[in-house]
Amino acid sequence: MVKISEQTSTQVATQMQATAKKRRIGILGGTFNPPHLGHLVIADQVATQLGLDQVLFMPDAEPPHVDRKLAIPAVDRVAMVQAAIKDNPRFKLELTEVQRGGKSYSYDTMLQLTREHPENQYYFIIGGDMVAYLPKWYRIDDLLKLVQFVGVCRQGFTRESPYPVLWVDVPSIGISSTMIRDQVRRGQSVRYLVPTMVDLYIKEHLLYRD
């Protein structure tokens, strides 16, 4: 169920009416180290509940907050995302940040995408825990002119925000990339935690092993 905070509902409704004729595109960015079923559930639930035409999975080139020893090369992360989403026609791969290289600000990325694709209205999907950090995002006020933020509800985090955030309820999936890397490192199975093709890729390329 989609919920919007009272103070922003009118603003969001106005924006959605103004962009009704545009293609509605979700953006799910991240390190995807590796991609797992939780990512797919979030993308599918948001796409379905908001009636999005497409969700773009956008791996970053250089993870800003991850131990570099654990952040495998982008080429492997891209290959796993591609394998994970290939059976869903509504999911696509977006390589803007990987192709640019280095650390990317969301504002710079979305400015580029909106200029290249003015026919799209973008819905930037973030975890509920990240909403509280929006005031610290680079050029957040300018970014808000380019995208509609979508907050994925997570237990323990408030839905309140000074910004116009669309809130979407998503089933809680207790899976994280950190957990999967630890499982692989210990020689444990990650079957049913990641898509089958991602599991095979990890094994074939001996990823996440000491």
Question: In this predicted model, what pLDDT tens digit does every residue of 133-189 receive, in sequence order?
Answer: 999 999 999 999 999 999 998 766 778 888 999 999 999 888 999 999 999 999 999
Please tell me the predicted confidence (pLDDT) of residue 76: 97
Give me the domains of the chain, ranges plus CATH numbers: 23-173 (3.40.50.620)
Question: In this predicted model, what pLDDT tens digit does every residue of 32-42 receive, in sequence order?
Answer: 999 999 999 99
Pairing state of beta strands 2-4 and 165-168? antiparallel
Please tell me the predicted confidence (pLDDT) of residue 67: 54
How far from the centroid of its chain's Cα atoms is residue 184's Cα?
23
Q: What is the pTM of this model?
A: 0.86
Structure tokens at 29: 């960015």
